[in-house]
Amino acid sequence: MVFNTDLERDFILKREIAHLSDEFKGTFAPETVERYVRESLESLEGARVKDFIPLFVNRFSRERLRALGQVQGKIAKDQPEVLFVCTHNAGRSQMAAALLHHLSGGRVSVRSAGSEPADQINPAAISAMSEIGLDLSQEFPKPLTDEVIQAADVVITMGCGDACAIYPGKRYEDWELDDPAGQPLQKVRLVRDAIAVRVEVLLAELGIPRIKAEHE
């Protein structure tokens, strides 16, 4: 959906604010929800796939509000929280998030973000992940926000320098991986496989048995 008029944009905003205010009733005031929804829309309006903007806004706002609730102790954590950060949130961090979510069987809460988010997911990353049965086509690059860093137990960066704020009590790692941006599919496969190896090590360190991947 492309916002042809301010009226249409306001309609989408009010609808998402109403939905999320109801979902987070008793946790956050409607004013807080509205601020996060408006901020999320502004940060995602550059996305190339315009038809999905309302869905992206809802998902991104919900993710940020859940993180904020965890930081403030209003929402309990029932599993480890891992945040993957790369520059564009279009390749490495998205592949890592999908692999960790899948191989953990959903027993790890996974988020990803970019220090300079792109306007779409790298098509080669989508293809490489599709080959192993994981779908990135409905994902979208998201900007790095403070509450998702604070909510994470483990923060893993991939070539984004000092973009992440450092908070005490968190585990930080930097994974040195080639940037798949602009690379042919065969090279993106190598990046994917290198990420998979590191994800398996991370799962072992978190004490969570991996499940068997679909392509194995």
Same domain, 49 and 96: no
pLDDT of 1 strictly over 60: no
Same domain, 70 and 152: no
Same domain, 89 and 68: no
Q: Could you give the angle at the alpha carbon of 34 between the alpha carbons of 30 and 2, nearest 5°? A: 145
Nearest to 182 by CA among 141, 123, 129: 123
Same domain, 52 and 85: no
Q: Of 37, 52, 76, which marks where a domain is finished?
A: 76
Active site residues: 86, 160, 164
Same domain, 24 and 102: no
Contact assessment for residue 178 and residue 196, using Cβ atoms and an 8 Å cutoff: no
Domain that holds residue 209: 79-216
The predicted structure's pLDDT at residue 214: 55
pTM of the entire structure? 0.89
**What does the buried/exposed string (b/e) look like for 129-161 if buried means 16 or more CB atoms within 10 Å of the residue's CB?**
beebebebeebbbbbbbebbbbbbbbbbbbbbe
Same domain, 122 and 30: no
Same domain, 186 and 110: yes
- 2 pLDDT band, cuts 50/70/90, is very low
CATH number for 21: 1.10.8.1060
CATH number for 189: 3.40.50.2300
pLDDT average, residue stretch 63-72: 97
- 5 pLDDT band, cuts 50/70/90, is low
Region of poorest pLDDT, from 49-53, 150-154, 182-186, 197-201: 49-53
The predicted structure's pLDDT at residue 44: 81
Same domain, 87 and 71: no
Same domain, 71 and 91: no
Same domain, 100 and 172: yes
Question: How many structural domains comprise the chain?
Answer: 2
pLDDT of 81 strictly over 80: yes
Q: Of 14, 45, 76, which marks where a domain is finished?
A: 76
Same domain, 103 and 66: no
Structural tokens at position 51? 């038809």
- 159 pLDDT band, cuts 50/70/90, is confident
pLDDT of 165 strictly over 80: no
Q: Of 26, 48, 76, which marks where a domain is finished?
A: 76
